[in-house]
Amino acid sequence: MFLTRFIITIFHRVTQGLASRWRNVYYRILGVKIHGYVWMRQIEITRNFQDIQIADSCALDEGVVLLCSGESLNQSKIYIGSRTYINRNTFLDATESITIGKDCAIGPGCYITDHDHGLDLEVSPLAQPMVSKPTKIGDRVWIGANVTILKGVTIGNDSVVGAGSVVTKDLPESVIAVGVPCKVMKEKVNSEIQTVT
């Protein structure tokens, strides 16, 4: 019984590894700029492949979607820094620029965007132009499960965003923020966490 389970486990790992390597080759051929090896489960990139750049040693889990809309620019619309892990069913939706730093952990079910539609009440939402502003997540940021990060937001290095939060405004470095809308609750000072009053 132990030997059978061991063989099945090894077989599973080998097939997952081969599938990930194949996806690296496949997306490179389509134009995604992949630096080094990126661990990829079954992800979705449907168009504008050349607008995506992924640094070395990243991991993209099952169901991650990278979507770039609009005309190609002279820069990457989605950039994911080295050693960043993006968990299951997270959606990155860019028309201008989403930048994610290195060594970040992004939980499952997140939505990160750099745009929305206009607010003219006389025109249907889909007929209105996209309004875009770059979204930036710094280095070593931890984003909890089911977080929404809206256009134009910058999250500073070493910050933590609690599960279920909706980030509508910039967050400074080294803070813990939660809520709808997301607000700073604690900050890291000299390696200690202090409550913000």
| CA–CA dist 143, 145 (Å, integer) | 7
The catalytic residue among 12, 35, 115, 117 is 117
Contact 50, 32 (CB under 8 A): yes
| CA–CA dist 20, 107 (Å, integer) | 20
Known active-site residue 115: no
Contact 153, 172 (CB under 8 A): no
| CA–CA dist 57, 34 (Å, integer) | 10
Of the candidates 80, 87, 77, 76, the one whose C-alpha atom is nearest the C-alpha of residue 132 is 77
Of the candidates 84, 96, 185, the one whose C-alpha atom is nearest the C-alpha of residue 140 is 84
> Phi/psi of residue 193, each to 5°?
-100, 125
DSSP class of residue 171 equals B
Hey, which residues are catalytic here? 117
